[in-house]
C-alpha cells in the first residue's frame, strides 16, 4: 500500500485527520458532541506533539483523528502516525493547524517506510490522501529517499560493487542514459590507480561506474559517490564494534545514485555525469599497506598513512576524472569520517565547499526543505597536517585534530579551484527508530542538494 495517494473519488471515504496544538484544543472540543468530548477527556489527550486521539461517532465508527503537533514543525507533525494509526486512508482536515501541509505529507511518507527485503512488514502503514499536485511534487522525493534507505540497508553480500553497478544500469535504462564501467585491471589501464589499490584485496573487483545523461549543450554537473560496500579498515583493521555497520559505507554512492535519478526525472537542463567508485576495503595478501605510495590519476603522489582512510582514495581519482570534463559544478557524497559525527552528531551532514555562494545556497535550501546540513571550513592552515616526507601528501593526518576538515582538504587537492565544488560528509544512518526516521539507512542532504540544483538550473 503506498504511503500517499491522490485525494480523488477513490479516497472520498477517507477519515479526517486534524492536527491541533494546545492553544487550539479548546476550540476543537467545542465542535465535538458531548459524548465525544467525554471520550476525549477520558483519553487524557492534551494535544502534545506526537500523540493522537480517535474520535468515533454514535455508532462507534472512527470518523476523525486529532493529532497533537507543534504548529511550527510541519515536517515532523505526522511522521509517527502511519505505523501507529489504525490501518485506513486519512486526509488532512481543513481545520488543521499546520504551516505547510505538503511538508507534513512528506513526513508521513518517510514515516511509512519499512525495509522488507528479508522479512514481512510488521503491519501495513496507514495511507494519506493528498492533492494531486502535492503527490506529483512529493513522489520523486519519496522514491529517492526510499532508494537511499534500501541500498544502505541491504547487506554487503547482496550490495557489493557489482550490485551497485546493476542499480546504476537500471537507472540508466529507466532514463535512457548511457552507462559504462571499468572493472578490475581495466582501472589500471584507464589510469584509475588509487581506486584500484583501495579495492584490489577483495574477491569482488573494484570498479568505477559512469552514467551520462542530458544534452551536451547544457551546463555540465558531475556527481560523485563513495561506494565502499564494506569497510574492514584494511590492514589497519577496525574493531568489531567499528566494523559492525560498515555495510553503510556505500551511503555516499546511494545518495549520488538517488540524486541522479531526481535530476533525470525532473529533466533539469543539465549534462549530468554520475561517477560511483565501488569497492570493498578487504584484507588479503594483495591489500595496500601503511607506508605504500600511490601515484594518483592526477599525478599527485599519496603515502598511505592509514588503510582505514580508504574513502578519500576511492574518491580522488573519480574527482580528477570528473574535473577533466570541466563541469559547471561538481559535488560528492561520502560517509567519510567519524570526526564529522564527533563534531556534529549523526543528524547533520558536514558541508564543505570551495565557493561561499554555493555554501550559502545549500544552507538556505536545507532550511527551506527541512533537510539540515552544517557548513564547515576548508581551513587552509591545516593542509600541513597532510604533509608526507616521501610523497606529495598522506591520505590521513597522524593527528586526530580536525579529522573531517583534513579529509575534505585532501579531496580539495584533486579539484581545480576554478570549479565550484561541494563535499557532503554524511552519516547516512539512523541509530534508533524515531518518527519519520526509522532505524537504518537514511538520506541526509539529498533534498537540500536537489533544491539547490533546481534553483540553479530551472526548467
Question: Pick from 169, 184, 179: which is nearest to 210 by CA?
Answer: 179
User: How far does the chain reach from its first CA to its final CA, in angstroms?
Assistant: 32
Which CA distances in Å does 415 have to 149, 246, 262? 29, 27, 25
Question: Pick from 214, 250, 275: which is nearest to 414 by CA?
Answer: 275
The catalytic residue among 7, 149, 271, 312 is 312
Q: What is the DSSP letter of 437?
A: B
For the chain, percent helix, then strand, then coil, each to nearest 5? 40, 20, 40
Question: Can you tell me the distance from the alpha carbon of 201 to that of 66, in angstroms, rounded to the nearest whole number?
Answer: 57
Question: Can you tell me the distance from the alpha carbon of 119 to that of 103, in angstroms, rounded to the nearest whole number?
Answer: 30
Question: Can you tell me the distance from the alpha carbon of 252 to that of 425, in angstroms, rounded to the nearest whole number?
Answer: 8
Calculate Rg over the CA atoms of the chain: 24
* Residue 415: HSE in the Cβ half-sphere, 13 Å Cα cutoff: 29
Question: Can you tell me the distance from the alpha carbon of 269 to that of 262, in angstroms, rounded to the nearest whole number?
Answer: 12
Q: What is the DSSP letter of 434?
A: B
312 catalytic, yes or no?
yes
Q: What is the DSSP letter of 235?
A: T
β-partners of residue 91 are 16, 129
Task: Quickly count: other Cβ atoms within 10 Å of residue 58's Cβ.
Answer: 9
Q: Are 268 and 442 in contact, with CB atoms under 8 Å apart?
A: no
User: Is the alpha carbon torsion for 331, 337, 342, 347 positive or negative?
Assistant: positive
375 CB contacts (<8 Å, ≥6 apart)? 351, 352, 353, 359, 362, 363
Which CA distances in Å does 278 have to 199, 260, 267, 418? 8, 16, 26, 27
The catalytic residue among 238, 364, 434, 456 is 238
Q: Which residues are catalytic?
A: 238, 312
Amino acid at each position: 500500500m503506498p504511503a500517499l495517494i491522490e485525494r480523488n473519488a477513490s479516497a472520498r471515504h477517507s477519515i479526517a485527520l486534524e492536527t491541533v496544538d494546545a492553544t487550539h484544543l479548546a476550540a476543537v472540543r467545542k465542535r465535538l458532541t458531548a459524548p465525544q468530548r467525554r471520550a476525549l477527556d477520558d483519553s487524557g489527550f492534551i494535544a502534545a506533539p506526537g500523540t493522537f486521539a480517535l474520535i468515533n461517532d454514535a455508532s462507534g465508527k472512527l470518523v476523525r483523528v486529532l493529532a497533537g503537533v507543534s504548529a511550527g514543525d510541519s515536517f515532523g507533525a505526522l511522521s509517527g502516525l502511519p505505523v501507529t494509526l489504525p490501518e485506513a486512508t486519512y486526509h488532512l482536515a481543513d481545520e488543521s493547524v499546520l504551516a505547510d501541509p505538503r511538508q507534513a505529507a512528506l513526513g508521513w511518507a518517510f514515516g511509512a517506510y519499512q525495509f522488507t527485503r528479508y522479512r514481512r512488514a510488521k503491519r501495513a502503514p496507514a495511507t494519506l490522501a493528498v492533492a494531486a499536485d502535492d503527490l506529483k511534487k512529493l513522489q520523486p522525493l519519496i522514491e529517492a529517499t526510499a532508494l537511499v534507505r534500501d541500498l544502505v540497508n541491504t547487506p554487503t553480500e547482496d550490495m557489493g560493487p557489482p550490485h551497485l553497478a546493476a542499480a546504476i544500469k537500471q537507472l540508466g535504462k529507466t532514463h535512457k542514459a548511457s552507462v559504462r564501467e571499468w572493472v578490475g585491471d581495466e582501472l589500471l589501464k584507464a589510469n584509475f590507480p588509487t581506486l584500484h589499490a583501495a579495492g584490489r584485496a577483495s574477491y569482488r573487483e573494484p570498479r568505477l561506474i559512469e552514467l551520462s545523461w542530458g544534452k551536451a549543450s547544457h551546463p555540465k554537473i558531475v556527481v560523485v559517490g563513495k561506494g565502499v560496500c564494506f569497510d574492514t579498515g584494511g590492514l589497519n583493521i577496525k574493531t568489531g564494534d567499528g566494523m559492525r555497520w560498515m555495510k553503510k559505507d556505500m551511503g555516499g554512492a546511494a545518495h549520488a545514485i538517488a540524486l541522479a535519478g531526481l535530476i533525470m526525472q525532473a529533466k533539469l537542463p543539465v549534462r549530468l555525469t554520475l561517477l560511483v567508485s565501488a569497492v570493498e576495503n578487504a584484507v588479503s595478501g594483495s591489500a595496500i599497506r601503511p607506508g605504500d605510495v600511490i601515484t594518483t590519476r592526477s599525478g599527485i603522489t599519496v603515502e598511505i598513512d592509514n588503510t582505514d582512510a580508504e574513502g578519500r582514495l576511492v574518491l580522488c581519482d573519480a574527482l580528477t576524472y570528473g574535473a577533466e570534463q570541466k563541469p559547471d559544478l561538481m559535488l560528492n557524497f561520502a560517509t567519510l569520517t567519524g570526526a564529522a559525527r564527533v563534531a556534529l552528531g549523526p543528524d547533520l551532514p558536514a558541508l564543505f565547499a570551495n565557493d561561499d555562494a554555493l555554501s550559502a545556497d545549500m544552507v538556505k535550501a536545507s532550511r527551506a526543505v527541512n533537510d539540515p546540513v552544517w557548513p564547515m571550513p576548508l581551513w587552509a592552515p591545516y593542509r600541513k597536517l597532510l604533509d608526507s616526507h616521501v610523497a606529495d601528501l598522506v591520505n590521513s593526518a597522524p593527528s586526530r585534530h580536525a579529522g573531517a576538515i583534513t579529509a575534505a582538504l585532501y579531496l580539495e587537492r584533486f579539484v581545480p579551484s576554478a570549479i565550484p565544488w561541494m563535499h557532503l560528509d554524511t552519516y547516512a544512518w539512523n541509530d534508533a527508530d524515531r518518527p519519520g526516521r526509522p532505524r537504518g539507512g537514511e538520506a541526509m542532504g539529498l533534498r537540500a542538494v536537489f533544491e539547490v540544483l533546481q534553483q540553479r538550473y530551472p526548467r
